[in-house]
Chain A
């Protein structure tokens, strides 16, 4: 401990010294030429990472320990706009467990099918499925500022939250039980530095009627509310699986977040995100029934986020002029920087969500006392949708907005063991990861599991015995149309098929209750994009570069393998990738979005509006 502390103190001291020196260099009026002459500036114009000038003090992720506390080196390669948060002691606070959102008896004014414009509702279109699926439960969700602690060594942060916590409360909804969530905008007009108090809350992965989807341009202002109707019905109820939909397309781990067009980065960065879980007769929320997945206190959503804090004020800060993507040097799980989580010696279902803004993760379980130990775990879902069966893996990759539910059996570790959740995917700028997987212990430590000695029962099924969850729907239907969507960058502006985003008219129209194939092409040089498509999930049919297993890149085959044989709502497009997706669009009509979920790209118009109606078009290059 003494050794770690010394290193921390030294690094803290060096980081502060570096910041001071850099400020003084600027204040003293050293020109770029001066710096170059002194060897402090590279030919590309970057300050070299010398100890004493780099705020990283030649070390790494601001405040990590070394040795088993997590010595990272790759942040030394940060090339531009490098984050410089104050040091914080890792694993000095418990993991925050979000409260479960509770319904209310009634809402005032009473919800209505038509928008209650006079009563202050921001919705502009009538609910299309309200009579068919009348809400059984009502919730009131207030978007409000809150003073939140992210780490005991940092000051309280002024965040924007759902209901006062970051992340917001976790919804536990059930299929067959439609709900209505009233979002109330009580945000302040003074944003404290960033954030637009104008919002649209998207339920990510929801099979949701358009007017309740949280479409980016369906935003509403301070003092207004917006009723979102979630039918919680399986897809296909009005087409190929009447009357109740296809059980094999049940969803599990969804999340909700702000989606305000052009301003999603700042609003989500400021705290507007939370989990929304769906249960049914198989994924029951009770580990003695159905698929017998670890449940109750052993079913733990974990929202991963990276952030930057100001070196002088200790407050959350965002680069407002960034166009590449924003990387943080502080890693938060459920709103706390590098928490610890005390676990019992049994199976847990951990629901990992990469909430962005821009980073890609490849997550490993690392034993800091034995870096060569490979710790396998079971991945049971991709993007929150249960796989056909549990797959044993040693890592999993998440682009922004991707989710993975995993089962980790902590009974394999003796009491007193500590295991770290580590991101080993190297990423040095906001555009995408390098593809290098760092050695164990060299990555970003996100959270530490501490194994308790307590005796505990475990009624959940061993993943080895869970041979079947859901069956993947067929993808052999002849598509009504195959559309190609080419993502390019022209003069710093994102285009899709050379067109620029516009909320006001759709790029193409899909005919309701038909199947389509979409070919996504990444034509942008040295950029990677986690592309999200609203409303319906897809399956990856093939790729040109291989989209296999849990690792970045890899493989060379055309069909996905491993955990990517799955239903998904986000697909990672590496540079030069061409990926073909299969969809069925069912049940509801209206406008939906397709966009890059690197929210900085999204806010710079890397988005497209597409609609569902009863006519559709067959434009193959919209």
Chain B
């Protein structure tokens, strides 16, 4: 779409009007629509999971969809290193969730904690945080370009639709989003819930017995 087309879209160029006039003279009965056939998994990927470049706390560059989400069971939350509100509780919960889920974490279940403050949470800060919290393989702290993180935050539903509340980081959304990407099963639970409940929740979207992909 170029500038001229954009202006047309805004209704300031005459070309759009002319096209519409022609439409008005068309016969009454609209032709049956041809519907696109898009696999639902593809629609979900397009809508929510852009393949953005991100950095792990280990300094590794990864792609959000290809490397972190595709074919996996995942758990998302948002945090930042200096957060003293709900983050410590939620992160401690996730550490226990990791323990409950055992060796499946890192194999077919992955925990991802995104920083809300990519400019503050530099790699050394995240690495130190990971060290201090004893993060084990299968659980990554993630950062990226501020605009990319912001896009992910919105796509994954970690925003408050009240803009005033949304600007207040101390009020940031404390839910944990869980899902099974290939099975298109998604849910959420409070990050302040018990670790047992969070672990149980993610296992609700597990593969049926005998069908596990991991």
**A52 and chain B: residue at smallest CB distance:** B9
**Which of chain A's residues 228-246 have a Cβ closer than 8 Å to chain B?**
none
With the chains together, A322 CA to B175 CA distance in Å? 12
B14 at the interface (CB under 8 A from A): no
A313 and B38 contacting across the interface, CB-CB below 8 Å: yes
With the chains together, A14 CA to B85 CA distance in Å? 47
With the chains together, A297 CA to B165 CA distance in Å? 51
**A527 and chain B: residue at smallest CB distance:** B162
Range of interface residues on chain A?
35 or more
A191 at the interface (CB under 8 A from B): yes
B187 and A198 contacting across the interface, CB-CB below 8 Å: no
**Which of chain A's residues 28-52 have a Cβ closer than 8 Å to chain B?**
28, 31-32, 38, 44-45, 50-52
A13 and B157 contacting across the interface, CB-CB below 8 Å: no
B32 and A153 contacting across the interface, CB-CB below 8 Å: yes
**Which of chain A's residues 156-173 have a Cβ closer than 8 Å to chain B?**
none
With the chains together, A25 CA to B188 CA distance in Å? 31
Contact with B along A592-622 (1 / 0, CB 8 A): 0000000000011100000000000000000
Question: In the assembled complex, how far is the CB of residue A175 from the closest CB belonging to chain B, in whole angstroms?
Answer: 37
Given contact pairs A1-B28, A193-B41, A604-B175, a sample of 4 additional A-B residue pairs in the complex whose CB atoms are under 8 Å apart: A191-B183, A196-B204, A310-B43, A490-B86
Q: 4 smallest A-B Cβ distances: which pairs?
A: A193-B40, A321-B157, A52-B9, A492-B173
Query: Which residues of B line the A interface, CB within 8 A?
Result: 1, 5-6, 8-11, 16, 19-20, 23-24, 26, 28, 30, 32-33, 35-38, 40-41, 43-44, 48, 85-86, 147, 155-158, 160-163, 165, 171-175, 177, 183-194, 197, 201, 204-205, 208, 211
> 29 A-B Cβ contacts within 8 A?
A6-B24, A10-B23, A10-B24, A14-B20, A21-B5, A21-B6, A32-B147, A38-B6, A45-B163, A52-B11, A53-B10, A153-B32, A155-B35, A189-B208, A262-B187, A312-B36, A313-B36, A313-B43, A315-B35, A320-B186, A321-B177, A490-B174, A491-B191, A492-B171, A492-B174, A493-B175, A525-B165, A603-B188, A605-B193
Contact with B along A305-329 (1 / 0, CB 8 A): 0000010111101001111100000
Residues on the B chain within 8 Å of A605, using CB: 189-190, 193
When the two chains form the complex, which single residue of B11, B37, B156, B197 contacts A502, counting CB atoms closer than 8 Å? B197
With the chains together, A605 CA to B165 CA distance in Å? 20
Contact with B along A509-532 (1 / 0, CB 8 A): 000000000000000011000000
A53 and B9 contacting across the interface, CB-CB below 8 Å: yes
**A491-B172 contact, Cβ under 8 Å, with A25-B1, A80-B161, A429-B161:** yes
B38 and A312 contacting across the interface, CB-CB below 8 Å: yes
With the chains together, A314 CA to B38 CA distance in Å? 10
When the two chains form the complex, which single residue of A52, A262, A321, A503 contacts B16, counting CB atoms closer than 8 Å? A52
Which of A31, A191, A431, A491 gathers the greatest number of chain B CB atoms within 10 Å? A491
Question: In the assembled complex, how far is the CB of residue A64 from the closest CB belonging to chain B, in whole angstroms?
Answer: 15
With the chains together, A486 CA to B160 CA distance in Å? 21
Residues on the A chain within 8 Å of B188, using CB: 262, 323, 603-604
With the chains together, A263 CA to B1 CA distance in Å? 40
B192 and A493 contacting across the interface, CB-CB below 8 Å: yes
Residues on the B chain within 8 Å of A502, using CB: 193-194, 197
When the two chains form the complex, which single residue of B41, B86, B157, B211 contacts A322, counting CB atoms closer than 8 Å? B157
B5 and A9 contacting across the interface, CB-CB below 8 Å: no
B26 and A191 contacting across the interface, CB-CB below 8 Å: no
A262 and B157 contacting across the interface, CB-CB below 8 Å: no
With the chains together, A383 CA to B186 CA distance in Å? 32
A153 and B189 contacting across the interface, CB-CB below 8 Å: no
With the chains together, A50 CA to B11 CA distance in Å? 8
Residues on the B chain within 8 Å of A490, using CB: 86, 174, 192
A494 and B10 contacting across the interface, CB-CB below 8 Å: no
A491 and B86 contacting across the interface, CB-CB below 8 Å: yes
**B177 and chain A: residue at smallest CB distance:** A321
B40 and A50 contacting across the interface, CB-CB below 8 Å: no
**B190 and chain A: residue at smallest CB distance:** A493
With the chains together, A193 CA to B182 CA distance in Å? 10
Question: In the assembled complex, how far is the CB of residue B198 from the closest CB belonging to chain A, in whole angstroms?
Answer: 11
A443 at the interface (CB under 8 A from B): no
A86 at the interface (CB under 8 A from B): yes
With the chains together, A1 CA to B161 CA distance in Å? 41
Which of A44, A323, A429 gathers the greatest number of chain B CB atoms within 10 Å? A323
B20 and A13 contacting across the interface, CB-CB below 8 Å: yes
Which of B5, B43, B187, B193 gathers the greatest number of chain A CB atoms within 10 Å? B187
Residues on the A chain within 8 Å of B85, using CB: 491
When the two chains form the complex, which single residue of A6, A190, A196 contacts B205, counting CB atoms closer than 8 Å? A196
When the two chains form the complex, which single residue of A38, A153, A263 contacts B187, counting CB atoms closer than 8 Å? A263
Question: In the assembled complex, how far is the CB of residue A65 from the closest CB belonging to chain B, in whole angstroms?
Answer: 12
Residues on the B chain within 8 Å of A2, using CB: 28
Contact with B along A86-126 (1 / 0, CB 8 A): 10000000000000000000000000000000000000000
**B187 and chain A: residue at smallest CB distance:** A262
Question: In the assembled complex, how far is the CB of residue B48 from the closest CB belonging to chain A, in whole angstroms?
Answer: 6
**A323-B194 contact, Cβ under 8 Å, with A50-B10, A52-B10, A312-B35:** no
Residues on the B chain within 8 Å of A21, using CB: 1, 5-6, 9
With the chains together, A604 CA to B158 CA distance in Å? 13
A12 at the interface (CB under 8 A from B): yes
Residues on the B chain within 8 Å of A53, using CB: 9-10
**A502 and chain B: residue at smallest CB distance:** B197
With the chains together, A21 CA to B1 CA distance in Å? 7
**A190 and chain B: residue at smallest CB distance:** B183
When the two chains form the complex, which single residue of A9, A45, A79 contacts B30, counting CB atoms closer than 8 Å? A9
A262 and B192 contacting across the interface, CB-CB below 8 Å: no
**B37 and chain A: residue at smallest CB distance:** A313
B30 and A12 contacting across the interface, CB-CB below 8 Å: yes
